[in-house]
Structure 1
């Protein structure tokens, strides 16, 4: 049985050393896992120019590996492999159109170079491919129909090679090893196959937060499709809201997260909003003490901004009135249900006003 490590969307360029380091991390993980094949689902390079600039430095990295490295062009580097350029003896760019096929031990990988559209002719050709007695994987660069959190980096809403899960299921592959979306994503298709985006091995934009992953395909394992965490560069963000009187909880959570970040290759940021019983300057100083060198966007305000609001004061008066009525339990005119209805109506009015002002979150 074959073992494959899959990555995609590395977006190499000369001025992004962290991406080159992430590629080295992926290959080191492949070494440690004793894989039979590494696949790259497109956009190895950020541009065709970058591929030319980096070719010499990659030759050593892509040579003398115990496994082949199979890549397809993506929309960013679609022209990078059109000329017969040498990137290393272990490196194979799959440029045959409409697709090429590679057999590794008992598994066949169908490699689909980037194309803008999933035409009927192409889908029929993939579906009617030559039969194969063993597991099959499809390597492609595409926009899956389902939205994926994190999107496609800086490419906006552009959808390259849009394809549906049902169209893919009809092709009847066991594994669909994809690239283009920059966030890890896995879904099981109706034919029993598994579709997976590994996400970028190093964050390319601020939207790509959290530790990065590669995908390990191991036909012999009980969980034969696994997301493997990478020790590579990534962005991370911590968003917290302060509740008056609970400031210490927020400060403790920040201190804990900063301790974790200090052990990782990460560019973090913290955003804090809400209201605090502490003096604003004192709370700012406390944030600075626990956050260290991590940038903090502090939008908190003292709770006085709430309790001095006329609507809040009105509710407070009603609550105080309720306490007074509770103290005089023998009064004939004390109607608990009517009083609760009044308070409920006033509370709804407060929230309605906040919503109308766009302040209800």
Structure 2
């Protein structure tokens, strides 16, 4: 039996990029012949959005060949009140003590609440006796794994607050084969709780913030096997950093163009442009070069961070030329030479101010 596990779509409006990503995930579910499709929280970015989108969700959630399981997350915890209809074969896991039973598995959901470690642990142990040994038991969870070394930006726009924190040790004496988690956006990550027991974050299936870099993933796995990452063809951010070196015979504009070759068609590039230029030898000043770069990158870059500087006044200085000649003849390795060159440039920039 195959399960598709995703989370944190943060839907905002009908037929935008996030909505299109959900459509694509449902198509993947059909293609991969999954029997259960799990969204581990934060399907919606805000609770009121569920009211706007629910009629359209009914259409795409119905007539699928798999069961869809939804868990309330911290962004949409009030979106799943009793009696609301999200479509055929859609189950909202609103109560921890009421699992979704299907064939030889039981899927339990712990809906998000603003509670701490102790309360989460108590809730988990409240179902310990209900986790039957003859079943594959799966927990759907939305919150923060304290064992992991994450920064706050990995969880989206959440600030410093803790969100239903847990530790891997909380699950070791529970008969849970999988913890299919949500809330962590940045990367696909799996932890082994014990033999044949796994905790997994699938990452957001579409980049929500610029910190969510690289091709996005979902978790598609056969029950009884470890979680498996499944790369997606969805919008995502890529970070590219280039550095101009005025002491090399290279065209800055060509450097920019080469850096954008073979970029994924769904990538939104955050380009960082560092280093130095010699406007005298290039025949163009900082403003002119920025204008040329903007023309080249306009279709591929989400943003460009210009950090490069024109240091022609230093590069044409006779003292600097003598220094570079001696440095070139020295026995230092390239890293040391680069460090010394940068140190001298920065020192002379301070003097030339």
TM-score by length of 2: 0.79
Query: Where does residue 332 of structure 1 map in the other structure?
Result: none
Equivalences for residues 113-128 of structure 1 within 5 A: 113-116=111-114, 117-118=116-117, 119=119, 120-128=121-129
Query: Where does residue 307 of structure 2 map in the other structure?
Result: 299
Deviates more, 1:129-138 or 1:267-276: 129-138
Q: How many angstroms apart in 2 are the aligned matches of 1:93 and 1:31? A: 20
Residue deviations 1:108-129 (CA, integer Å, cap 9, x gap): 2222111223424213224443
Q: How many angstroms apart in 2 are the aligned matches of 1:205 and 1:162? A: 22
- Contact 1:37–1:104 (8 Å) recurs in 2: no
Residue deviations 1:78-137 (CA, integer Å, cap 9, x gap): 1111231111012111111x3432233333222211122342421322444332324332
CA shift for structure 1 position 26? 0.7
For the residue of structure 2 that corresponds to 1:214, the secondary structure is strand
Query: Where does residue 132 of structure 2 map in the other structure?
Result: 131
For the residue of structure 1 that corresponds to 2:156, the secondary structure is coil
Computing the radius of gyration from Cα coordinates, the structure with the larger value is 1
CA shift for structure 1 position 250? 8.3
Q: How many angstroms apart in 2 are the aligned matches of 1:191 and 1:205? A: 33
- Contact 1:42–1:71 (8 Å) recurs in 2: yes
2:72 counterpart of 1:66: no
Query: Where does residue 235 of structure 2 map in the other structure?
Result: 233
Query: Where does residue 189 of structure 2 map in the other structure?
Result: 186
Query: Where does residue 98 of structure 2 map in the other structure?
Result: 100
2:135 counterpart of 1:159: no
Q: How many angstroms apart in 2 are the aligned matches of 1:258 and 1:45? A: 35
Equivalences for residues 1-361 of structure 1 within 5 A: 2-14=1-13, 17-96=16-95, 98-116=96-114, 117-118=116-117, 119=119, 120-145=121-146, 146-148=148-150, 150-192=153-195, 193-219=197-223, 224-244=226-246, 245=248, 247=250, 251-252=254-255, 254-255=257-258, 257-261=260-264, 263-264=265-266, 266-277=267-278, 279=282, 281=285, 284=290, 287-288=293-294, 290-295=296-301, 296-304=304-312, 307=315, 313=320, 316=323, 319=326
Q: How many angstroms apart in 1 are the aligned matches of 2:188 and 2:235? A: 19
5+ unaligned residues in a row in structure 1: which ranges? 327-335
Q: Give the number of equivalent residue pairs.
A: 330
CA shift for structure 1 position 215? 0.8
